[in-house]
Structure formats: structure tokens, C-alpha cells
Chain A
Amino acid sequence: MTLDDIPAEQLEVHLHRGDLVIQTGPFRARIRCRIPRVKADLKLMYGHFPCDISPSFADFDISLSKAPYLRRWYKPQVLFFADRQCIFKPLPLSQAFPMLEWGLNWCIANQTTHHLILHAASLERHGRSLIMPAPPGSGKSTLCAALSCRGWRLLSDETTLLELDAAKISGPARPISLKNESVQVIQEFSKDAVLTPPVHDTIKGSVAHMRPSRDSAQSAGVTASPGLVIFPRFQKGAPLQITPTPRSAVFAGLVRNAFNFTALGRTAFHRIADVVSQSEGYDIIYSDLDEVIAQIEELAHGW
């Protein structure tokens, strides 16, 4: 069963009761929520994902609720709970859906110990993966969204997962978070892209989320072998520039972007080394999406 199979009014009941469990790749999240806007966005973004409404196992126990007391009426706020504990400071009610997304990212980064987690976007094609580790603002989510519009299977735009016993890469394939100008860029890039209405004035500026393709959602969790590691950087008006990255720098770049490298110790070291030895690494500076995608597809030619 996917989320789309649940009629809207029933979905509301399940969200209230907290027996809805959505499966995003290797993670199952129980979501409890009474905020109508969240229900609409959830349906739009997670429609293709498998879910369960009978009592079942969940990796994460999440709930979103309106802040109590005066805050019900005066500048209403939303609170995020993981394992029934309040994790973040409250946000304005209008930011409820982005908060759910950020909260789920927090759960993956903080509550999972069975994957090495990279702060990187990743996609799959013909069984091999493209990993793009980069700091916020480098345009990795935009590039990731654009590639997924061109038929690459989305693994993740934020949290790339590496198995602990082999160099196998996967991701939860959750919605791609687009910020500010990127929202319009992607809308213009592909008219098939489905986006949530943008939410303004968040800590990251204006934010909209893009729905993953049906294939990405349903194959989420299927692993890919290493292929390319690309460190992208968007630079307005710059000509496309591609330089091979030395292996040592690819290794350092992956370690720098691993959330739980220290906690997992030598296991993490060996898995990253495996990925590096089986991948080619490049630094790419780009300004035009079509141009950079053509180049990336060239690099992935033999796959």
C-alpha cells in the first residue's frame, strides 16, 4: 500500500491516532500530526511511498503539534517531537512541513547507528551511484533535483547512507529541499516537477520541497555500488570547469561530510576507503544545469 491509496479523510484519522508509518528506504517513521496543512503536503510529497496503517515497527517515532496555551491563538507555533521528546525550538505554524522534513533529517543523523551517514546528495543509474558531498549553498540540491528530473533515481538530497559491511550506497529518497532561487530554477527546468507551495522566512530563506519520482520512492533502499564522487559548486556565470580530484581529497571530502564518522571509528574509515577506491572523483564548478548534466552523463558513460 502507498500513501496515495489512503483516502484523505482516513489519512487524517490515522495521522491523529499516530498509527501511520511511512517507509522511506531503510527507515520507517511513525508520524502523528493534527495540522491540516501538513497532511496536504505529506500527501503531495509522499504519495508514492509505501506505508502501513496497522500497528507495526517504526525506526522513528515523530509527532508535530501546535504549541499549547496562548500560542494557540497568538502567533501560533509548531513543536517537533522525536521519541516523544521535544527536539527543537518552536517554529511558526506555517513552517510545519519543513520542520517535519528537518526533523526527519535530524532523526536519520542522530538516531541511526547502522549506516554511515554522509551529508551529501546522491543518485543512481544502472546500479551505480553519484555522490555529491557539499556544504549548504553549493547548489547540490538543485543539481540533484535537476538530475532526478532527467531520469536518475534519487537516493537522497541530504543524507546518503553507506552500509557498514560493504561499499553499498542507498538513501531514503525523501523530498528534495529547494531554497530561494532554486525553486524557480527547477520549476523552469522541468514542468513535470511537483513542488510544495513555498514557505517564506524560514531560517534557510524560502523553502519548497520537490516530490521524488514514483520509481525513486518505490525503489528507495535498493543499494547502488560506488561510481562517481563529485564536489559541485554553483558559481553564477562561470564557465563549466571540471578537475579530477585526487583520491586523498575525495577521502577527506567524504570524511568531512560524514555525520557519524567518529562514532563508528574504524568501520567508517574502511567503508569510506572502499568507496574512494571504487569511484572517480571530480570538482565541478557550474552555472548552467543542462551543460553540467551533459558532462556528468558523459562521465557516467560506461555504466
Chain B
Amino acid sequence: MDGSAALREALTHPESILQRTGEELGQLLAAAREAGMLGTLWHLAQIHDIDETIPEALARHLRGGFIRSEHNTEALRWELETLQNTLLNKLPAPIALKGSAYLLRQLPNAPGRISQDIDLMYPSSQVEAAEELLQFEGWTTTHHDDYDQRYYREWMHELPPLQHKVRGTTIDLHHNILPRTFKVRINPQRLWEHSLPAPLPWRYRLLCDEHMVLHCVCHLFSETDWARSIRDLYDIKVLIEHFQQTEGDGFIDRLIHEAEALGLSWILERALTLAASALHLALPERAWQPLKPHQPSAITRPLERSIYLHGINTHATDSPARDTFAQAALFVRGHYLKMPLPLLVKHLTHKALTKTPD
């Protein structure tokens, strides 16, 4: 079994780690390290009570990864606390997305997880005001090239990342969850209407459960770079299972309903199928029925499904050639979805002709 498969198994059945040979444990380590999931595996080992039985050679890496994630969480919480007391409080509370949201809600995928940056969403009428306020607090823009600025401001769903000049932390200010130029356009109004305040004393809002899952789905399936995609898929699986457990099977119906309303059913269909086959996400039989019309066409279906499956592999794999092909295909697909073809050609021509500094 290669490292990627061992990682998928470990994420669904942590006890499977105990069945691995020494060599496989090494490959599992490489895969988990690449996916940034060492801390997550340690958390799983702890709640499944196998943290004392996992071979020490691997356990120490997982433990180290978990300590690192604990510190990351602490730093993230501190930044969020600091941010809500800055000039940003001149504006209505933003929606915290991704890692910050999982932390504020204490969702089961938060322990062990490492967040690279802070994602906040404002209505598009306020997002530049938020940027300006943050500049007074020591955050500066990162893309100084005029073209890159335009790329973000005109076409994307977020502003160029802001970086704190002392701490180096980055904030992505969003006004939507998919690029303006993406194949489907999402009405952010609906996201705001369903959003909820975060538990006190936090001054943030959170997407409703269905939208939180859909954002994660969008994030993965609009990506051009599928490195570390296994983590996004794991987030999707854990969130759905958690919401199903706490809210009952009605959750999945509401999820499908919301996907329909936002025009995301076709992406949700792919995400659920992938999570079911790669990470054993269990859904009630009736959930698949309304998604059927959104399946890829019967001719391309096997190829498309196999591309996603290979796309989530790390470099610890027994099928490097197929993975490379799949990831290249996903790269092209991601770009194709991200921008209409004429704009994409223009964008790629510009990127090819301008020299990027090393």
C-alpha cells in the first residue's frame, strides 16, 4: 500500500495505522507531512485511544506535528482576538471562513489542523474599506505589480493577500467564495442572509452549516493546484458527518437544496462522490437521487472520477505517472473554470511574457 492510500485509510480508520509495516509507516509519514496532516492524525490517534500503541518512530512525528498545530491554533486565536479590537470594529462583523471558522465553532476538524492564513469575508461594498482600515493597523498588500492588483480586484473573489509587517501573518479579505469570473456566479447575499453570529465574545459571523460545507467544496473544486487537496476533502467529510450527527439526516437534504439554490450542485456531486470513494463518507441512499442529473456525462464519467482520485494523491504514491497526468488535467480544468476562455488566454499570455523574479 502506498503512502497516499495509507493516509486515506488512517483518516477514516485510524486503527489501520497499527497494521502498517515499517516501510509503509515511512510512506504514510511522507504523505501526511506533505498534506500537512501530522497533527490531525495525532488527534485521531488520541480519540481512538491508539496514541500509546502507534510505533514510536511514527508517533513522535505525529506528536510533534500536533504540538505545532496547537501553537498555530493559539496564534490564530490571538490574531482573531486582536483583529476584532482593531479599527475593523468600525465595520459590521465579517464572516470568518475556513480554519478560523472551524476554530470559532470548535468543529471536529479543528484540532491538529494548521491554518496558513486568516480568511474574512465582507460585503463587496465594504471589502476595500476593511483593507484600508487594516493598513492603519500594520497590514500591507503583498502583490505590488499593477497587473496582479487588477487580477485580484477585478476578477477574483478576494483582494490581494494582506501581510502584517511585523508578524508576517496573512489575511485574505473575501467578498465572495468563488471568483467573479468563475463559471457559476454565486450571490453572496444568500450567504449573508443565512449567516449566524459566532458565539460570544467573538465579534465575527459564520456561514450556516450548509454554506460552510459548500465553501469547502468550492475551495477544493475550483483549485488549480491540487497539492494538499486531501486535507480539503477531509474537511468536507468531517463537516458533513458532524452536521449529520448533530442535526440528523435532514442536513443532507438542506445541503443539496442550498447547492441547488447557489448553482453548485454539479460541484457538490463530484465532491460527495470523491469523499465517498476516497474517505468512506457515508450518506443516506436518497441523497444521491437529486444529484444524479448533475453527474458527469456517462462517456467521460470514469475518466473524470479517476482524475479526481489521482488528483488527491501526494507524492508518496505507486502511480506517479497517472497522478501527474491527473494533476495536470486538474490544473487545466481549474483555469478553464476560473475564467472565460478569451480572458484566460489573455491572462496566461501576460503571465508567460512577464518575468517572475526567482
Contacts and interface: CB of A to CB of B under 8 A. Distances in A.
Interface of A: 28, 30, 55-59, 61, 83-85, 111-115, 164, 260, 262-267
19 contacts: A28-B57, A30-B26, A55-B23, A56-B26, A57-B23, A57-B57, A58-B23, A59-B26, A59-B61, A61-B30, A84-B320, A112-B64, A113-B64, A260-B68, A263-B68, A263-B72, A264-B67, A265-B74, A267-B67
A111 B26 CA distance: 13
A56 B57 CA distance: 11
Interface in B55-70: 55, 57-58, 60-61, 63-65, 67-68, 70
A57 B71 contact: no
Contacts of A30: 26
A83 B316 contact: yes
Given A57-B22, A61-B26, A83-B30, A164 B67 contact: yes
B33 A111 contact: yes
B358 to A, nearest CB: 9
The 8 closest A-B pairs by CB, nearest first: A113-B64, A265-B71, A114-B64, A57-B22, A55-B23, A114-B60, A84-B315, A58-B26
Nearest to A84: B315
B34 interface: yes
Contacts of A84: 30, 315-316, 320
Contacts of B320: 84
A265 B78 CA distance: 13
Contacts of A85: 34, 315
Interface of B: 21-23, 25-27, 29-30, 33-34, 38, 55, 57-58, 60-61, 63-65, 67-68, 70-72, 74-75, 315-316, 320
B315 A164 contact: no
A69 B320 CA distance: 19
A235 B315 CA distance: 47
Contacts of A56: 22-23, 26
A57 B64 contact: no
A114 B61 contact: yes
Nearest to B55: A57
Contacts of A112: 61, 64
Contacts of A55: 21-23
Residue of B55, B61, B74 with most chain A CB atoms under a 10 A cut-off: B61
Given A58-B26, A61-B26, 7 more contacts: A55-B21, A57-B22, A84-B315, A85-B34, A113-B65, A263-B68, A265-B71
A83 B22 contact: no
A262 B65 CA distance: 13
Contacts, number: 69
A85 B327 CA distance: 15
Given A57-B25, A263-B71, A267-B67, A113 B315 contact: no
B59 to A, nearest CB: 9
Contacts of B72: 263
A136 B65 CA distance: 29
Contacts of B316: 61, 83-84
B157 to A, nearest CB: 29
Contacts of B34: 83, 85
A59 B67 contact: no
Contact of A59 (B29, B63, B74): B29
A114 B63 CA distance: 7
B169 to A, nearest CB: 11
Contact of B26 (A57, A260, A262, A265): A57
A113 B29 CA distance: 12
A28 B22 CA distance: 12
B31 to A, nearest CB: 8
Nearest to B39: A113
Nearest to B72: A263
A57 B67 contact: no
Contacts of B57: 28, 57, 59
Contact of A264 (B27, B30, B71, B315): B71
Contact of A113 (B25, B68, B74, B75): B68
Contacts of A59: 26, 29, 57, 61
A48 B316 CA distance: 30
Nearest to B66: A113
Contacts of B64: 112-115, 164
A266 B71 contact: yes
B74 A83 contact: no
A85 B320 CA distance: 11
Contacts of A260: 68
Contacts of B22: 55-57
A112 B61 CA distance: 7
Nearest to B358: A89
Contacts of B38: 113
Contact of A83 (B33, B63, B70): B33
A57 B72 CA distance: 28
A84 B318 CA distance: 12
Contact of B61 (A61, A113, A264): A113
A83 B68 contact: no
A162 B316 CA distance: 29
A138 B38 CA distance: 36
